[in-house]
Amino acid sequence: MSTSTSPAVQRTFDVEEIRAQFPILKELVHGKPLVYFDNAATSQKPRRAIKAESTYYATINANVHRGVHTLSTKATEAQEAARETVRAHINAQHAHEIIFTCGTTASINLAATSLGQLLLKKGDEVVISGMEHHSNIVPWQLACERHGAVLKVIPITDSGEWDMSAIPARGRNDILTDKTRILAISHVSNTLGTINPAKKLIAQAKKKGIITVVDGAQAAPHLKIDVQDLGCDLYAFSGHKAYGPTGTGVLYGREELLERMPPWQGGGEMIDTVTLEKSTWAKLPFKFEAGTPHIAGIIGLGEAIRWMQDYDLDAMAAHERTLLEHATKELLAIDGLRIIGTAKEKVGVISFVIDGVHHYDLGTLLDQQGIAVRTGHHCTQPLMDRFGVSGTTRASFACFNTIAEVDAMVAGVKKGVKMLR
Ligand code: 7TS
């Protein structure tokens, strides 16, 4: 099992060479070649990540950080190598700042529960934005209810961006106030594809002593993440959207803050000592990793990230941008089609509505042609309300998608419009 953290030479970007590494792309759906455009829900997995997981089960399966026996040592080493891979990938300072969870949802619930307990009192304020996934709304609502705090929301412009005029760096600002304790924002929107100016807003919040939490679920698969450069306190993402296994996620936290945060879940491995009266906590990151982790998944995630690092991530992003630009141009030529989310800075996510065509019907027709898109509210109901729609059809691209696949989708949409209108 490879555990190197960075390749000596990066492979040049060749989409056919990349596609050959994704076994699922050979599958037929309704007798048609699969066109997978639902990567924002979960990406497909390269053979290397799948193999790393099965090799763990076949050769070194044992619990981690527990036994003195050889298999446990090997499993522990493989898991901790994955932690180091993640650390390097997002440029965290220390490997113990990387907490493994089962996904972004778990990472944000950990953050909201623990930070709530540490920071929130009656009348304090927590700020989110109007484009958050439910995973970055509901945990903060729960925390605010628990501690008597107030949830405030950054408004969204017609193009699907934060309305920065509502949060000026100088002068009166009714959103980031003296009472704001926590700012929790998405780096990239799952519905609109907008890449948010997170670094700028974090810098503004930092000046006011506000703790910043970033939902990076849709950024990690597409952007180079540098948590030190971003300046955030906590950063959450899912492994399964970044070519890794389902059931894996990460919460990065700045060491000094993690040291102060109380544990989220209690149980085995997160303690230092336990008596029947009181327990003390293990050192980082184990204080936040109660119970047996998803060892195989974490090892698979490490391998998925090493796989990504074998390529020039800028070239991958450029390829996805080409797909987005092509899809945008071709879709806009369809009569009555409107794109929701027209920010200048976007990842390869395109959401649209068509007059007289229900997104669910269109999604079903596309599926019959082997094309997988997501339809509905994408777990962003407040954002749907903001744009006055009940849902959209969403195509979300990954590095293995092609222009020919975009053309197939556009042809499928045109066919759908003819049938449904
Ligand atoms: N935050 C964002 C921005 C997301 O896009 C998602 C999942 C989550 C949090 C939750 O991640 P999980 O891995 O814990 O489920 N987004 C989507 C989506 O857009 N379609 O399906 C899931």
CB-ligand 1 contact for 104 (6 Å cutoff): yes
C-alpha of 415 from chain center: 33
Which atom in ligand 1 lies closest to the alpha carbon of residue 249? 13
Which residue range(s) make up the domain with 237?
A: 56-309
What is the 240 CA–ligand 1 centroid distance (Å)?
Answer: 10
Does the residue 49 lie in any domain? no
Which atom in ligand 1 lies closest to the alpha carbon of residue 105? 14
Indicate if 299 and 393 belong to the same structural domain. Answer: no
Indicate if 373 and 293 belong to the same structural domain. Answer: no
Cis peptide before 285 (omega within 30 of 0): yes
CA nearest ligand 1 atom 6, residue:
217
Indicate if 215 and 346 belong to the same structural domain. Answer: no
> Chunked in runs of 10, what are the mean pLDDT values of the chain (421 residues)?
52 92 98 98 98 98 92 97 98 98 98 98 98 98 98 98 95 93 98 98 97 98 97 98 98 98 96 96 97 98 97 94 98 98 98 97 98 98 98 98 98 97 88
Indicate if 63 and 146 belong to the same structural domain. Answer: yes
Rounded CA-CA distance 298/76 in Å is 11
CB-ligand 1 contact for 105 (6 Å cutoff): yes
Domain final residue pick, 256, 275, 309: 309
CB-neighbour burial class of residue 396 (10 A; exposed 0-12, middle 13-18, buried 19+): buried
Domain final residue pick, 271, 287, 309: 309
CB-ligand 1 contact for 135 (6 Å cutoff): yes
What is the 373 CA–ligand 1 centroid distance (Å)?
Answer: 15
Does the residue 162 lie in any domain? yes
Residue 285's closest CA among 87, 142, 421, 417? 87
- Domain total of the chain: 2
What pLDDT is recorded for position 9? 66
65 — phi, psi (to 5°)?
Answer: 55, 30
142 — phi, psi (to 5°)?
Answer: -65, -45
Indicate if 256 and 348 belong to the same structural domain. Answer: no
Indicate if 162 and 270 belong to the same structural domain. Answer: yes
Indicate if 339 and 305 belong to the same structural domain. Answer: no
What pLDDT is recorded for position 8? 55
Which atom in ligand 1 lies closest to the alpha carbon of residue 374? 20
Residue 162's closest CA among 119, 127, 131? 131
What is the 235 CA–ligand 1 centroid distance (Å)?
Answer: 14
CB-ligand 1 contact for 41 (6 Å cutoff): yes
Which atom in ligand 1 lies closest to the alpha carbon of residue 132? 3
Does the residue 164 lie in any domain? yes
CB-ligand 1 contact for 139 (6 Å cutoff): no
The residues with which 280 forms a beta bridge, in sequence order, are 273
Single out the catalytic residue among 102, 144, 232, 379: 379
Query: What is the per-residue burial (b if ≥16 Cβ within 10 Å, else e) of 200-233?
Result: ebbebbeeeebbbbbbbbbbbbbbebebeebbbb
Does the residue 1 lie in any domain? no
3-state SS assignment for residue 95: helix
Half-sphere exposure of 352 (CA within 13 A, CB side): 28
Q: Are 190 and 38 in contact (CB under 8 A)?
A: no
Rounded CA-CA distance 215/135 in Å is 9
Q: Take residue 313 and report the two structure tokens written for it.
A: 């991530």
DSSP 279: E
Does the residue 63 lie in any domain? yes
What pLDDT is recorded for position 2? 43
Does the residue 9 lie in any domain? no
Residues 6+ apart with CB under 8 A from 136: 108, 128, 184, 185, 186, 215
What is the 20 CA–ligand 1 centroid distance (Å)?
Answer: 27
Ligand 1 test: best mutation among 131, 374, 379, most atoms within 8 Å of CB?
A: 379
Q: Take residue 225 and report the two structure tokens written for it.
A: 């993440």
Indicate if 61 and 145 belong to the same structural domain. Answer: yes
Indicate if 264 and 353 belong to the same structural domain. Answer: no
CATH of the domain at 143: 3.40.640.10
Residues 6+ apart with CB under 8 A from 374: 38, 40, 41, 363, 393, 394, 396
What is the 178 CA–ligand 1 centroid distance (Å)?
Answer: 31
CB-ligand 1 contact for 215 (6 Å cutoff): yes
Does the residue 7 lie in any domain? no
What is the 133 CA–ligand 1 centroid distance (Å)?
Answer: 7
What is the 397 CA–ligand 1 centroid distance (Å)?
Answer: 15
Half-sphere exposure of 57 (CA within 13 A, CB side): 8
CA nearest ligand 1 atom 22, residue:
41
CA nearest ligand 1 atom 21, residue:
41
Rounded CA-CA distance 420/418 in Å is 6
Rounded CA-CA distance 194/165 in Å is 17
CATH of the domain at 399: 3.90.1150.10
Does the residue 48 lie in any domain? no
Rounded CA-CA distance 40/330 in Å is 21
CA nearest ligand 1 atom 11, residue:
104
What pLDDT is recorded for position 67? 79
3-state SS assignment for residue 114: helix
Indicate if 302 and 316 belong to the same structural domain. Answer: no
CB-ligand 1 contact for 109 (6 Å cutoff): no
C-alpha of 69 from chain center: 36
Q: What is the helix, strand, coil percentage profile of the chain, to 5?
A: 40, 20, 40
Indicate if 192 and 296 belong to the same structural domain. Answer: yes
33 — phi, psi (to 5°)?
Answer: -60, 135
CB-ligand 1 contact for 129 (6 Å cutoff): no
Indicate if 379 and 280 belong to the same structural domain. Answer: no
- Catalytic site includes residue 379: yes
The alpha carbon torsion through 132, 135, 138, 143 (nearest 10 deg) reads -110
CA nearest ligand 1 atom 20, residue:
41
Rounded CA-CA distance 130/226 in Å is 24
DSSP 354: E
Domain final residue pick, 277, 309, 341: 309
What is the 280 CA–ligand 1 centroid distance (Å)?
Answer: 34
